[in-house]
Amino acid sequence: HTITIDADGPTTEVSDDLYGIFYEDINRAADGGLYAELVQNRSFEYSTADNASYTGLTSWEAVGRGGGTASPEVVTNAEMLNANNRYYLHLPVDGAPGAPAGVRNVGYNSGIALTEGAGYRFSVFARTDAGTTPLTVRLEDPSGNAVHGATTVDVVGDAWTRYEGTLTATATTADARLAVLAESTATLRLDMVSLFPVDTFEGRENGVRKDLAEMMEAMDPQFLRFPGGCVTNVGTFDAYGAPGYDRRRTYRWKETVGPVEERPTNYNFWGYNQSYGLGYFEYFQLAEDLGSTPLPVVSVGVNGCGGPPPLTDPDALDGWVQDTLDLIEFANGAPTTEWGAVRAEMGHPEPFGLRYIGLGNEEVQREFLDNYPLFSDAIKAAHPEIRIISNSGQTSAGAWFDELWDFAVEQDADLVDEHYYNSPEWFLANANRYDSYDREGPHVFIGEYASKGNTFYNALAEAAFMTGIERNSDVIDLASYAPFFANEDYVQWAPDAVWFDNVDAYGSANYHVQAMFAQNVGDVVVPSTVTQPTNAADDITGGVFLSTWLTSAAYDNVRVTSNDTGDVLFEDDFSDGAAAWNPTGGTWEVVDGEYVQASTTVEDARSTPAVDMSGWSSYTYEMDARKTGGA
Ligand code: AHR
């Protein structure tokens, strides 16, 4: 190959926000994942009405030892903690010294992971009918024989009161249980039983798991899209707790802020309960902690991913439009505004600096054309500084795709959100997709893309495609890979960037590609050409895909993906040394000044988890190549 770089040629400015993270609460990315809460079903809201495998006592066990007995029952009645937290644990215990009784929680996956010497914050809302009931809170092994840390809490009186304590783990284990036990007789009531590691990311209470957030941070993401794709826009539009309300409600940001015990839980599109403990405040804060610009996606009353009928009632729609305006105020308003005050009260008087908002996700229903303008017009009138992201369609929708594009143009949307999950070959064939994209219309947010696998070949194909993203960054402002997280025991969707269990997390090959690109962004792209073998356009064998760019620091960086030498070469850095390019993950090394994959460990069993991919056959987003000028 011969690469020719025209360093004095016309340049294209690279977007400051180009590479980010698509975070979705899918695969238990939040509860049981990023959200550092270790207790599953802490507020006893799990219900068989949601999922046949759930009960109010999911993840809980009755404990009675040495003759002690406990009769836990999940109830809802006038004694509920508050109107947003309607179920609690009614817990008659008949214990005695040496005969403890109560309950214990088994956490997620294999249990509760502890690190010897680490501190854990316990808290609970409780009441007792026995005047004062001392509780022993202990971390124990599955048999209940070994204690890995304990504290005591005195519950006083029969009114809901929050109690807390700190425990220090005396063992490192992945399968501990949190037991709450009494050695006396009483009828206890418990709610919001909680255990957090003290050592969360940035040390925040109600914070996120440090190792997982550090995987995000290591990628150097320029933006954070949250809280998801379909999890944001499928469900009913009922208010929580309204008579006959449906428990699977569309994600509504206001339900996710304020004191955690006042946030209603929700049974989500992906088939599990969300505590909303990781809510909009926490997402904004996380984005800030990561140095990323926040990019929330909200529902516009259309169930694009399939679900209950879209919202058409004008009054109800007004409420959702107002919610969206209030969200912008929550993020950016002064503490003197209604929603800025809520943010300030939660501990962040400074604005979060929201610049983008996504209206809808994969909205392929016609009601989108009716609803979107209500939201877009209101935002433009009140907040012209916010960049609005509309949707794009898919070729299987035929003329609808063109209509949606024309609609985005007509609505003067700042960006459209394109998604594609396709084969590696599609990505190779479409590396030039944006070279002749329409420069007059909305810009592009590639909100989700992946080549349907976490093998090294998938990652390489995506890297090839990303050189096209970078070359066309005058029209592509933002791009993010498929969902970031998957808890390996609760997988609804693959591929994903990072896989984890209670103890470990590892980046897929695709994650490392994302990280390499995001960590190394040029200021301007300069034109270049490469001689190719005849098969290069859609066949990676022998193909070279490149973007060439300048930075203010170094003026001759070249990014190349190729396998034509047998080794996989991601990039040459011809001038400024190794440090800036050193990818994470430990599977790379510098050979003769070039970064090469040092081993095949990226393709080991852990980066290709056994996942049921059968759903893929019915899910293909073949995006229109109409605007690419052919690939
Ligand atoms: O990423 C998983 C799903 O794929 C998202 O929820 C949705 O936007 C897309 O269809």
- The 3 state secondary structure assigned to 120-132 is EEEEEEEEECCCE
The per-residue pLDDT for 288 is: 98
Mark whether 383 and 492 lie in a shared domain. yes
Mark whether 250 and 284 lie in a shared domain. yes
Q: What is the position in ligand 1's atom list of the atom closest to the CA of 421? A: 4
Mark whether 108 and 193 lie in a shared domain. yes
Mark whether 491 and 506 lie in a shared domain. yes
Q: Is residue 591 part of a domain?
A: yes
DSSP bridge partners of 418: 446
Among 106, 105, 100, CA closest to 64: 100
Least confident of 327-336, 405-414, 471-480, 606-615: 606-615
Mark whether 273 and 353 lie in a shared domain. yes
508-556 pLDDT per residue, tens: 999 999 999 998 888 888 888 887 665 545 555 556 788 888 765 433 3
- Residue 362 appears among annotated catalytic residues: yes
* DSSP single-letter state for residue 184: S
- CA end-to-end distance (rounded Å), the chain: 20
565-583 pLDDT per residue, tens: 333 333 333 333 333 333 3
Q: Is 219 strand, coil or helix?
A: coil
Q: Choose one of 151, 175, 199: the last residue of a domain.
A: 199
Q: Choose one of 472, 488, 519: the last residue of a domain.
A: 519
Does 493 contact ligand 1 (Cβ within 6 A)?
yes
Does 496 contact ligand 1 (Cβ within 6 A)?
no
Mark whether 272 and 159 lie in a shared domain. no
Mark whether 259 and 274 lie in a shared domain. yes
Point out the catalytic residue in the list 24, 37, 261, 362.
Answer: 362
The per-residue pLDDT for 304 is: 82
| Residue 121 CB partners (closer than 8 Å, separation 6+) | 164, 165, 166, 194, 195, 196, 197, 198, 205
CB 524 within 8 A of CB 8: no
Looking at the structure of the chain, the number of domains it has is 3
Q: Is residue 526 part of a domain?
A: no
CB 304 within 8 A of CB 358: no
* Mutation to probe ligand 1, out of 359, 361, 422, 496 (largest number of atoms < 8 A from CB): 361
User: Domain of 137?
Assistant: 60-199
Q: What is the position in ligand 1's atom list of the atom closest to the CA of 483? A: 1
594-619 pLDDT per residue, tens: 444 443 222 222 223 333 323 322 22
Query: 10 Å Cβ neighbour count for 503?
Result: 14
CATH at 244: 3.20.20.80
Among 111, 41, 74, 17, CA closest to 489: 111
- In the structure encoding, which two tokens stand for residue 333, read together? 């308003």
Does 297 contact ligand 1 (Cβ within 6 A)?
no
Mark whether 245 and 303 lie in a shared domain. yes
Among 229, 228, 274, CA closest to 255: 274
* Mutation to probe ligand 1, out of 21, 23, 26, 445 (largest number of atoms < 8 A from CB): 26
Rounded-to-integer distance, Cα 299 and Cα 77, Å: 32
Q: Is 596 strand, coil or helix?
A: strand
133-144 pLDDT per residue, tens: 999 999 999 999
Task: Over range 363-388, report the average pLDDT.
Answer: 95
Mark whether 159 and 278 lie in a shared domain. no
Least confident of 219-233, 256-270, 506-520, 614-628: 614-628
| Residue 352 CB partners (closer than 8 Å, separation 6+) | 284, 285, 287, 288, 294, 331, 332, 343
Rounded-to-integer distance, Cα 340 and Cα 338, Å: 6
ipTM score above 0.90: yes
CATH at 94: 2.60.120.260
Q: Choose one of 199, 224, 247: the last residue of a domain.
A: 199
Mark whether 229 and 258 lie in a shared domain. yes
Centroid of ligand 1 to alpha carbon of 303 (angstroms): 13
What is the pLDDT of the chain when averaged over all its residues? 85
Mark whether 262 and 369 lie in a shared domain. yes
Mark whether 389 and 460 lie in a shared domain. yes
Does 482 contact ligand 1 (Cβ within 6 A)?
yes
35-71 pLDDT per residue, tens: 999 999 999 999 998 899 999 999 999 999 999 999 9
Looking at ligand 1, which residue's alpha carbon is closest to its atom 1? 483
φ, ψ (nearest 5 deg) of residue 530: -140, 140
